[in-house]
Amino acid sequence: MTRPLRIAYGRIFHEANAYSPVLTTSADFERMHWIGGAELDRASTLGGTELKSFMPHAELTGFRQACRLAGGVTAVPLESSLAVPSGPLTRESFEEILARLLDRLEAAMPVDGVYLALHGSMQVAGLAEAPEAMILRRVRAILGDAAKLAVSYDLHANLSAGLVDPVDVLVAYRTNPHWDLAPTGFRAGRRLVRALRGEIAPVHAWRKLPMVLGGGTTIDFLSPMRGFFRSMRRLERRPGAVSASLFMVHPYTSAEKLGWATHVSTDGDRALAERLADELAERAWALKDVPPPDMRTPSEAIREVRSSAWRRLGPVTFVDVDDVVGAGAPGGNTHVLAALAAEAPDLVAFVPLHDPAAVDATWAAPLGARRRLVLTGTPGYGMPGVTVEATVSARATTDFGRAVRLDVGKLRVVVTDRSPLPIHPSFWSALGLAARDADVIVQKNFFHYRLFYATTSFRHLPVVSDGATSLVRVKERARAAFGERPAWAAGAPSTP
């Protein structure tokens, strides 16, 4: 008869941008997602909502389903915390978040195992090691060597020894945009239960690659990544293979040894794991010369909208690649706004902007009031001011704080007092705007918005604007790390 198991589960999840002027605090987690105990237990069921306003079923729900289907497993909730990507965490906030998870784990002991949903590109001000490495080390110290530890990471984790060595089971997202959070948690849970029951004995091999960019758009269902992820699934079906993962790295941290990585786990066969890790690394390395999409200046993108037939099918999306809130930028870059205001009075354009000063100046104004404003974006971001004569047309309290809609001719600017992430069209509808009515929608997100605009916007233009997620900065850093040649053309795969 199979012995009943007790497995604890939790999350500490944040993606940091070292170039953002806005540090992340405990309050950012409290506003977004920070639950534990019985509340987490309810939220991580199929009838619950795990990540409110974002995704009903994520990693922890998937993990719970793996435990339920395995039978004979008691899942013990710890803490789950997540904040919108932004600047590094303060040390005080990180210690508080980690302490709460560890306190619950101490109280839950003894357990047979722990599953944690982590990002892999967190950063903490003043902390010399990877925060996830500290989390795993502290959890392992409580568990001891007999219990097993499973972890899942974001596809953009920056893999290092501290993120691999303490764990028994390791898996990553397989989609970009990331829709497979629950399946990822399910895979981690299933492998953890099998390992605890002696059905598999996972061993690891991984490779760090001297490349930061490559893979084209890096979207999983588009070439060339579509073929790569298919090959990874085929690899997992080989005899003796347990899991295969690719990490395309979040390039906006100041972590050392930044770069893509591959990871393979096999059932007790280390030699096989090493061979498969090499094979997967070579396939990833072959993508190093596939460049990102062509970038436009704001002026070039505006001209393309005017001449493009795509505009008749729906709004054209401007992806503000240098100010991506989904990658930790603050969302207060004014360069695209300035170009639209000056050069595109004929276009209906929706623009989100982090600008607490503008919110303060207009929050109490009567709807319909006219105000002359200088929009400067995020404090400390060094953006040029954009002077506008605006009508205060709507206001709302949203997931991104207070939001005010300012109409400047055909331009619709939604200013917020927290970093805006208009992934879903409801960001606009909360302020009386319908996404379908726009000629241009500015996104502060690389990929995830496409899930919700799939039937609305069919043309996506990457636009550069000199902000915290500038790829120019990434390339300059890659040259410093890997030599004068660009990162995707420097050397060959290496062992960790």
Query: Which letter, b or e, does each residue of 114-140 get, where b requires 16 or more Cβ atoms within 10 Å of its Cβ?
Result: bbbbbbbbbbbbebeebbbbbbbebbb
DSSP state letters, 55-123? BSS-HHHHHHHHHHHH-SEEEEEEEEEE--SBSPBPHHHHHHHHHHHHHHHHHH-S-SEEEEEE-S---
What is the DSSP pairing of strand 411-416 with strand 316-320?
A: unpaired
Instruction: Determine the pLDDT at residue 172.
Output: 97
Claim to verify: residue 9 and residue 142 sit in the same structural domain: yes
Query: What percentage of the chain carries pLDDT values higher than 70?
Result: 96
Our measurement of the distance from residue 453's CA atom to the centroid of its chain's CA atoms, rounded to an integer in Å, reads 18
Claim to verify: residue 182 and residue 308 sit in the same structural domain: no
Q: Among 253, 285, 317, identify where a domain stops.
A: 285
Q: Residue 393 is part of which domain span? A: 298-463
What is the C-alpha to C-alpha distance for residues 170 and 115, in angstroms, rounded to an integer? 10
What is the C-alpha to C-alpha distance for residues 320 and 305, in angstroms, rounded to an integer? 15
| Residue 317, SS3 per DSSP | strand
- Residue-wise pLDDT tens digits, 304-348: 999 888 888 899 999 999 999 989 999 999 999 999 999 999 999
Whether cis (ω within 30° of 0) applies to the bond prior to 224 is: yes
Claim to verify: residue 304 and residue 227 sit in the same structural domain: no
Claim to verify: residue 403 and residue 438 sit in the same structural domain: yes
In a domain, 200, yes or no: yes
Query: pTM of the entire structure?
Result: 0.88
In a domain, 489, yes or no: no
DSSP state letters, 162-225? HHHTT-SEEEE---SS---HHHHHHHHHHHHHHHHTTS--EEEEEEE-S-SS-STT--TTSTTH
Instruction: Determine the pLDDT at residue 338.
Output: 97
State the CB neighbour count (10 A cutoff) for residue 59: 32
Domain count, the chain: 2
Whether cis (ω within 30° of 0) applies to the bond prior to 177 is: yes
Claim to verify: residue 117 and residue 44 sit in the same structural domain: yes
Mean pLDDT of 43-67: 93
Claim to verify: residue 279 and residue 325 sit in the same structural domain: no
What is the C-alpha to C-alpha distance for residues 247 and 482, in angstroms, rounded to an integer? 18
State the CB neighbour count (10 A cutoff) for residue 371: 15
What is the C-alpha to C-alpha distance for residues 75 and 7, in angstroms, rounded to an integer? 5
Q: Picking from 235-249, 405-419, 444-458, which range would have the lowest pLDDT averaged per residue?
A: 444-458
State the CB neighbour count (10 A cutoff) for residue 170: 25
Q: Are 354 and 420 in contact (CB under 8 A)?
A: yes
Claim to verify: residue 303 and residue 279 sit in the same structural domain: no
Our measurement of the distance from residue 356's CA atom to the centroid of its chain's CA atoms, rounded to an integer in Å, reads 24
In a domain, 167, yes or no: yes
Structure tokens at 16: 């940091």
Structure tokens at 295: 């970038």
What is the C-alpha to C-alpha distance for residues 163 and 249, in angstroms, rounded to an integer? 13
Q: How far is CA 220 from CA 172, 177, 215, 217, 452, in A?
A: 13, 8, 10, 9, 17
Q: Is the pLDDT of residue 230 over 70?
A: yes
Strand segments (E) across 221-333: 241-247, 261-267, 316-320
What is the C-alpha to C-alpha distance for residues 8 and 348, in angstroms, rounded to an integer? 50
What is the C-alpha to C-alpha distance for residues 220 and 232, in angstroms, rounded to an integer? 12
Instruction: Determine the pLDDT at residue 378.
Output: 96
In a domain, 156, yes or no: yes
Tell me which residue of 413, 404, 281, 403 sits closest to 341, measured CA to CA: 413
Instruction: Determine the pLDDT at residue 490.
Output: 37
Claim to verify: residue 374 and residue 277 sit in the same structural domain: no
Claim to verify: residue 212 and residue 352 sit in the same structural domain: no
Instruction: Determine the pLDDT at residue 292.
Output: 86
In a domain, 250, yes or no: yes
What is the C-alpha to C-alpha distance for residues 157 and 163, in angstroms, rounded to an integer? 9
In a domain, 78, yes or no: yes
Claim to verify: residue 258 and residue 372 sit in the same structural domain: no
Q: Among 264, 285, 306, identify where a domain stops.
A: 285
Q: Is the pLDDT of residue 487 over 70?
A: no
Our measurement of the distance from residue 186's CA atom to the centroid of its chain's CA atoms, rounded to an integer in Å, reads 19
Whether cis (ω within 30° of 0) applies to the bond prior to 110 is: yes
Claim to verify: residue 138 and residue 256 sit in the same structural domain: yes
- Residue-wise pLDDT tens digits, 396-447: 999 889 999 999 999 999 999 999 988 899 999 999 999 999 999 999 998 8
Kind plus residue range of the DSSP H or E element containing 392: strand 386-398
| Residue 458, SS3 per DSSP | coil
Instruction: Determine the pLDDT at residue 473.
Output: 76
Q: Is the pLDDT of residue 482 over 80?
A: no
Q: Among 262, 285, 308, identify where a domain stops.
A: 285
Q: To which residue do tokens 């303490």 refer?
A: 166
Structure tokens at 437: 């009515």
Query: Which letter, b or e, does each residue of 314-349 get, where b requires 16 or more Cβ atoms within 10 Å of its Cβ?
Result: bbbbbbbbbbbbbbbbbbbbbbbbbbbbeebeebbb
In a domain, 474, yes or no: no
In a domain, 447, yes or no: yes
Structure tokens at 487: 């990162």
Claim to verify: residue 130 and residue 251 sit in the same structural domain: yes
State the CB neighbour count (10 A cutoff) for residue 370: 10
State the CB neighbour count (10 A cutoff) for residue 48: 17
Instruction: Determine the pLDDT at residue 496.
Output: 57
Instruction: Determine the pLDDT at residue 92.
Output: 97
Q: To which residue do tokens 């990833």 refer?
A: 284
What is the C-alpha to C-alpha distance for residues 155 and 153, in angstroms, rounded to an integer? 6
